[in-house]
Structure 1
Amino acid sequence: MVGVGPPARAGQGDSHPLMAAAGGPGPTCVLGIDLGTTSVKAALVTGTERGLALAQSCSRETQAHSDSLGAAPQGMEQDVQKIIRALNECLAALPQQQLQQVTHIGISGQMHGVVFWKSDKGCRWSESAFEPDKVSHLVTWQDGRCSPSFLTSLPLPQSHVSLATGFGCATVFWYLKNSPDFLKAYDAAGTIQDYVVAMLCDLKKPLMSDQNAASWGYFNCRNKNWNTDILKKSGFPVHLLPEVGEPGSIAGRTTCAWHGIPKGTKVGIALGDFQCSVYSCLTERTDAVLNISTSAQLTISMPLGFQPPEAPDPSSAVTYFPYFNGDYLAVAASLNGGNVLATFVAMVAQWAQELGLQLQESAIYPRIIQAALAQKHSKLSVQPTIFGERHLPELLASVSSIGASELSLGHVTRALSRGLVENLCSMLPVQHLQDVGVRRILGSGSALARNEVLRQEVERILPFPVVYGKDVDAAVGAAMVMFHSK
């Protein structure tokens, strides 16, 4: 298998990751793609003797959330047709001349989720683009159909990762119990990024990186194998499990020209969007990465040679994610991030509508941020966990220390923003960051970029210098992995 360079790229100092040396002969133009929860992004990264540079990028909102009647209670599904349409729109917006020079494609996407398809009829090709055909909806990482009682009824995984709702294998178990005929219609499964790689390379058997496999559950990161014996005993359709390969390896080559990208272009095995986001900005092992987008993560590198425990600790708020070259990241991965702010804005809009006022959510967001900027402090305390947490799925949100003088939108928004940061720090405490030698915080993510109040609270709560990297993301990271492949 092909490996990648050291995750921290030690010695690069404070230089921008994109300016890292290209590493001698290799690809000169790479397309990086990220299939996110709410949007798709494509980035063209070029390599020269001086380093890497972002040449062009394009993003499109997918608007793929589905309210189909077939969705389970508390289900969260997305229409794959709309995701691929947004991807095609992104590529169509990039310069044809540069797309024709692409030699490698790196693809990342939202983890944990699962989509099913027919391996010989997964898409239709027309005019250098493909459209999904015999494909299910994507059941996303936000899916809530697997209740705590259902999860406890499943066999215990032989893995360091605790099983949670929204994990691919848990979702398959749910279908097996509640809608077994649904599974009979398909013979392949993977994350949305695995699906795209399979379609581009015409893979009859999906190929998945250990990053995505670990996010599904029932995968042993020590021996790099699925828990097939455990799964077979429970009647799990193990033929749906993809083969697993090393992140940074080549999954195959494009079987057709794709928006001008030549036939035969090398395509990397699909990666986790989280790992690619970290890869795009992490330059030193003494850095911690804070990402607040739809969800939120606080991440540190584990020492060289670290191996995760053999059994999961269901009560632990920290998860160990496979990274590159056998390294691991320690991650406090919260289900509550920008989605909480979005829900708050939607609530304000709904209240206004109930009062006979029509306000667009896009107009509300900047106004509440401006109101919060005028309130430097708030005694309000908001526990913002409206979506629970994987280690505490039944955790609810709460508001306390409510005083009559602090009921304005500004006070509430300030307290909510602070609560999001405090929640992360309760999962991976500041003292632990200090103990492992963290010296700097790298801040990234769309919510952090949009919300100055959130940035203020980060700088107030975390006693480290904070450097914001709004121009780096998973699509860029996926491209960089291809450059650093050997």
Structure 2
Amino acid sequence: LVSCPNSGMSAGLEQTANKSADALLLCIDIGTTAVKLLLVESATRRILYSGSNNIEASPVSTAPRQSVMSLHSILAAFSNLASKIDSHIDGDDNMLGRVSDILLCGQMHGIAMWRSEQPLASCSELVTWQDGRCSLEFLQSLPAPSRPEVVAPKSGFGLATLLWWQRHQPDRLAEFDACGSAMDWLAALLIGGSGSVRMSGQLAASWGYFDLAGQRWDADSLAAAGLPPRPRLPDIAPVGHVVGCLSPTLLTSLASGHAWAGRLPSSCRVRVPLGDLQCVVYSVYAPLQPSTLSSTSTGPADFDGRAFLNFGTSAQLGFLTSEPPQQPSVRDHAGIDCFPFFSPDRYVLLAASLNGGNVLAEFVQTLADWQEQLTGQRCPSETVWQRLQVLADEAEPASASDPDPLISPTLLDERCGGGTQGGSVLGLRMSSCRSLGRLYRSVCLGLINNLLSLCPPAALRQAGIDRIILAGSALRRNAVLRRAAALRFDECQFQSIVLEDGGARQQPAVADGAAGLAAQFLDWVAAGRGES
């Protein structure tokens, strides 16, 4: 157990369970385009503050097929949110002083490197999950996983990127001694970079070469791949593990540029970061009432027959299972991956598409660019979004004699495809070509069809699925996309469940990931589960 200064006791489950009645949780969700934050009262589960702040520098390609983002931009987005907390809550001018635990989750697969003694001053960029530098040829040159239960590396996975660096830019690796996800970097920053990086199995699995059953790195395959000695791979830690407590010296050094830092207590514990996928899935199945996180059971009966469709920047279609990952199953489909959930006997099987809300955002950006090129004036993106919704509603319905075009909007090549074919349009006619509403409707339907090509309806039926829960920020805001999903699932004889009257939908500023992160932690404490 970790001992925190000024806390008077160890930072284990006993301390968490016996915390003062006014203790708060600070929950941080680091996404691809925004950082989202929740402040939750532990005893009552009340949400005291929620907010979202765009990351100034969106992922950019520094070279063809590469996608990176600045860690400092992520910190700036978080700092902007954290500094607003006290001014948004009446009756208490130091809410951050009541924070007992910091919980982190966020974008999976990506990798960043840093020097452990200087995580802020000496760090690399974050190579994101959208990165495509690892070609099919390169991936095929890597050793196969040593056992069936080991996650194979794919393009955009952290260890694939690390091995790519080792082969193409080995000198760069020698600059750093630590590596991890964006959340692991922020955790290391908060605790002063002391000790080895500790990573959850959820995030480690998203890097590849991770043994799902043994919850450890696949040492044999990594040795065969020529894993470099620097940076050192993170140690694996269980869910709920305390990676450390806030560093007083770091808080002092940050305080000048980040006002929130000086208001957090040095006794505050930082828990091992988790994957946004698992936290979103938890929030999907856990009923969340307005302004309050309610508890949920995680028994098998809670999930029987229900899959989830989550649309954010990317998109996922999957379900929970207790089937051991090494057994032949629906996982044998090329587009379906297996990741650990919150208990040792439960896994998430899912098709993870790189093409989700990012494609719709690119469509909107393209229309705005075209207008500017033609007229010299640019329409605000928000106006384009609103007009597309209206035009799609007003557009003539498709018919047998005048069908909508078939659009495959795969602007990013899927990890399981192995090709570089891009998207396509089939069946474009005069009537549909002139209707922006019909084209937009077809793009939305194409995104759903793409997911179903990765996780076929037959595979869902094989797993006993008969209902699909529609969740995620893109589905919540986009009625056209929501209708497209409901239409396709109805055609495949699945019932669609739209989360509108419960869940994080009641809190539009709340990230599903941050809400699930907080709910899971409080349920974990209430269940009396231990930690290491």
TM-score normalised by L of structure 2: 0.80
Query: Which aligned pairs between 1:30-429 and structure 2 lie closer than 5 A?
Result: 30-48=25-43, 52-65=45-58, 71-95=62-86, 96-122=93-119, 132-158=120-146, 160-202=150-192, 203-239=194-230, 240-256=232-248, 258-283=261-286, 284-286=302-304, 287-302=306-321, 304=322, 306-309=324-327, 316-326=334-344, 327-359=346-378, 360-375=380-395, 377-378=397-398, 379-394=404-419, 395-407=421-433, 408-429=435-456
**Matched letter for residue 370 of structure 2:** W
How far, CA to CA, are the matches of 1:139 and 1:305 in structure 2? 32
- Superimposed CA distance per residue, residues 121-153 of structure 1 (whole angstroms, 9 cap, x where no aligned partner): 11xxxxxxxxx2101111111111111111112
Contact 1:377 / 1:414 at 8 angstroms: preserved in 2? no
Closer/same/farther in 2, CA of residues 455 and 110 from structure 1, 3 Å limit: same
Contact 1:58 / 1:93 at 8 angstroms: preserved in 2? no
**Matched letter for residue 249 of structure 1:** H
Secondary structure class of the residue paired with 1:166: coil
The reply on whether 1:464 has 2:492 as its aligned counterpart is no
Secondary structure class of the residue paired with 1:406: helix
**Matched letter for residue 246 of structure 2:** T
Question: Which residue of the partner structure matches residue 8 of structure 2?
Answer: none
**Matched letter for residue 473 of structure 1:** D
Closer/same/farther in 2, CA of residues 437 and 313 from structure 1, 3 Å limit: closer
**Matched letter for residue 166 of structure 1:** G
Note the C-alpha offset of 1:311: 12
Note the C-alpha offset of 1:313: 7.7
Note the C-alpha offset of 1:376: 5.9
> Larger relative contact order (C-alpha < 8 A, sep ≥ 6)?
1
Question: Which residue of the partner structure matches residue 9 of structure 1?
Answer: none
- Superimposed CA distance per residue, residues 361-405 of structure 1 (whole angstroms, 9 cap, x where no aligned partner): 332121112111112634211112121211114253111122221
How far, CA to CA, are the matches of 1:484 and 1:348 in structure 2? 45
Secondary structure class of the residue paired with 2:179: strand
Q: Which moved more, 1:37-46 or 1:172-181?
A: 172-181
Question: Which residue of the partner structure matches residue 291 of structure 2?
Answer: none
Note the C-alpha offset of 1:243: 0.3
**Matched letter for residue 342 of structure 2:** F
The share of aligned pairs that are identical, in percent, is 35
**Matched letter for residue 445 of structure 1:** G
Contact 1:300 / 1:330 at 8 angstroms: preserved in 2? yes
Over the aligned positions, Cα root-mean-square deviation in angstroms equals 2.5
Secondary structure class of the residue paired with 1:186: coil
Q: Which moved more, 1:93-102 or 1:274-283?
A: 93-102
How far, CA to CA, are the matches of 2:202 and 2:283 in structure 1? 16
How far, CA to CA, are the matches of 2:28 and 2:99 in structure 1? 13
How far, CA to CA, are the matches of 1:431 and 1:311 in structure 2? 12
- Superimposed CA distance per residue, residues 179-216 of structure 1 (whole angstroms, 9 cap, x where no aligned partner): 11111110000000011111222332111001111111
- Superimposed CA distance per residue, residues 30-87 of structure 1 (whole angstroms, 9 cap, x where no aligned partner): 1110111000011011233xx522221111101223658xx44321110111110111
Contact 1:64 / 1:80 at 8 angstroms: preserved in 2? no
Contact 2:330 / 2:459 at 8 angstroms: preserved in 1? no
Question: What stretches of structure 2 of length at least 5 have no aligned partner?
Answer: 3-15, 87-92, 252-260, 287-301, 399-403
Note the C-alpha offset of 1:355: 1.6
How far, CA to CA, are the matches of 1:260 and 1:310 in structure 2? 52
How far, CA to CA, are the matches of 1:418 and 1:167 in structure 2? 28
Note the C-alpha offset of 1:312: 12
Contact 1:293 / 1:447 at 8 angstroms: preserved in 2? yes
Contact 2:331 / 2:337 at 8 angstroms: preserved in 1? no
Secondary structure class of the residue paired with 2:110: coil
How far, CA to CA, are the matches of 1:301 and 1:234 in structure 2? 32
How far, CA to CA, are the matches of 2:283 and 2:99 in structure 1? 19
TM-score normalised by L of structure 1: 0.87
How far, CA to CA, are the matches of 1:313 and 1:465 in structure 2? 23
Contact 1:279 / 1:477 at 8 angstroms: preserved in 2? yes
Normalized per residue, which structure has more helix? 2
Contact 2:333 / 2:455 at 8 angstroms: preserved in 1? no
Contact 1:175 / 1:182 at 8 angstroms: preserved in 2? yes
How far, CA to CA, are the matches of 1:167 and 1:64 in structure 2? 21
Note the C-alpha offset of 1:427: 2.3
How far, CA to CA, are the matches of 2:415 and 2:385 in structure 1? 28
Contact 1:375 / 1:414 at 8 angstroms: preserved in 2? no
Closer/same/farther in 2, CA of residues 102 and 310 from structure 1, 3 Å limit: farther
Secondary structure class of the residue paired with 1:247: coil
Secondary structure class of the residue paired with 2:397: coil
**Matched letter for residue 40 of structure 1:** V
Question: What stretches of structure 1 of length at least 5 have no aligned partner?
Answer: 3-22, 123-131
**Matched letter for residue 110 of structure 1:** Q
How far, CA to CA, are the matches of 1:230 and 1:332 in structure 2? 25
How far, CA to CA, are the matches of 1:342 and 1:117 in structure 2? 32
**Matched letter for residue 495 of structure 2:** F
Q: Which moved more, 1:186-195 or 1:154-163?
A: 154-163
How far, CA to CA, are the matches of 1:450 and 1:358 in structure 2? 27
Contact 1:250 / 1:266 at 8 angstroms: preserved in 2? yes
Question: Which residue of the partner structure matches residue 7 of structure 1?
Answer: none
Note the C-alpha offset of 1:349: 2.1
Moved over 4 A (4+): 23-28, 309-315
